[in-house]
Amino acid sequence: MGYNCCSHTVEGQDEVWWQVDLQQQYVIETVTIIYRDQGTLKRLAGFEIYLSNTPDWTSGEPCYQDTTANLASMSATQSVTCPGVARYVTIYNNRRVKAYTWYSDQAYLELCEVYVNGCQFGKYGNGNCDNVCTSCAGNRCHPTSGSCDTCAAGSYRAGDHCVQCPQNCAGNTCASTSGACSMGCLAGFSGIYCKCLANCNDQTCDGATGHCSNCYDGFYGPVCTPCPTGCSTHTCDKSTGNCIQCDAGFFGNQCDQFCPANCKANVCNKDSGQCGDCDDGFYGPVCTSCPTGCSTDTCDKSTGNCMQCDAGFFGNQCDQSCPANCTANACNKDSGQCGGRIKVFCKKKKKKNIRRLMKIG
């Protein structure tokens, strides 16, 4: 089937060309040529396509040359891959030297339609060119997929695309294929991808998350958090962060609770917080004050029973009063019985006085 409107170069030429100005640079993917008809394809055979950024197409680069071996294989619709960045697209043909005898003797171009498929420079997308090329050298990417031919500085190849080097790479430099930091890490980070925190032992951490599998002593968890401040020698379980031992005066998994005030040497059980021993004058697991009736405020440090009672009191807690009239206000500590009763002494009258009274009477 022929076309009613097609361009036709003049006869008698040994080379001819046709050019389109795209008005700005485009990243070109394919060029589609629709030729006059099937009966004129020996004139199209051997054509070339050039891409250039000036009207002088000879300063550009050829992106395609037809090498079809026989006329039967030629088609009036030629859709060819023609990658490059250019403002001008030129279709060229010559007959100065014929590759095959079946080529036409003179050079012709009889073009009915030409489609140039691609995106504006720095853009890509499947039919819309809405996406921006990222991390590609020269901001150039494939117009459909966005893949980069070469990665820009500070990025590396991941599949067909380029991605930024890990953010903690020194000098923003990494290996072009693996992304491993090639100049070391910024301060505070370690590991081949500089994702590990500085307190990650042997620089071992997950390359994707940066989570550490083994922290230095004094740190715990996936990001090597410092052990709680109350941990003795700042050492804790590297998985849970629970303290192995607490500093004096603290207890609990995190050693963040205070021991009872009167624990001896300010030391208590790490798990329960109970005192192992109390200062004098205190007793029990939380070092309660000895009963007020205890002599010299001293009691048994386990039971709280008084060793001796103040005067006037008896009982284990010295909280019961001795009976009235006990000598020196003292009674048995356990039974409360007085040690002896108070003796009452009466004065004796003189006999002469008695006689005198009797005589008078």
How confident is the model over 95-143, as pLDDT tens digits? 999 999 999 999 999 999 999 998 888 888 877 888 888 888 888 888 8
* Global confidence as pTM: 0.49
**The pLDDT value given to residue 88:** 95
Model confidence at 297: pLDDT above 90: no
Model confidence at 275: pLDDT above 80: yes
**Range from 42-56, 94-108, 131-145, 196-210 carrying the lowest mean pLDDT:** 196-210
Confidence bin at 154 (pLDDT 50/70/90):
very high
CA pair distance 231, 313, nearest whole angstrom: 46
**The pLDDT value given to residue 341:** 44
CA pair distance 33, 348, nearest whole angstrom: 157
**The pLDDT value given to residue 130:** 87
* Main-chain dihedrals φ then ψ at residue 40, nearest 5 degrees: -115, 15
Please tell me whether residue 303 adopts helix, strand or coil conformation.
coil
**The pLDDT value given to residue 259:** 94
High-pLDDT (> 90) share of the chain, %: 54
| CATH architecture of the region 15-121 | Sandwich (2.60)
* Main-chain dihedrals φ then ψ at residue 97, nearest 5 degrees: -135, 125
Question: Which of the two residues, 200 and 341, has the higher pLDDT score?
Answer: 200
Place of tokens 């394809």: 41
Q: Computed from CA positions of residues 311, 317, 320, 323, in that sequence, does the dihedral angle turn out positive or negative?
A: negative
| Residue 313: count of CB within 10 angstroms of its CB | 24
- Which residue, 97, 21, 99, 30, is CA-closest to 60? 21
Judge contact between 333 and 308, C-beta under 8 A.
yes
- Which residue, 224, 229, 225, is CA-closest to 214? 224
Residue type, 190: S
**The pLDDT value given to residue 350:** 47
Residue type, 87: R
Model confidence at 347: pLDDT above 50: no
CA pair distance 313, 330, nearest whole angstrom: 8
* Main-chain dihedrals φ then ψ at residue 57, nearest 5 degrees: -65, -20
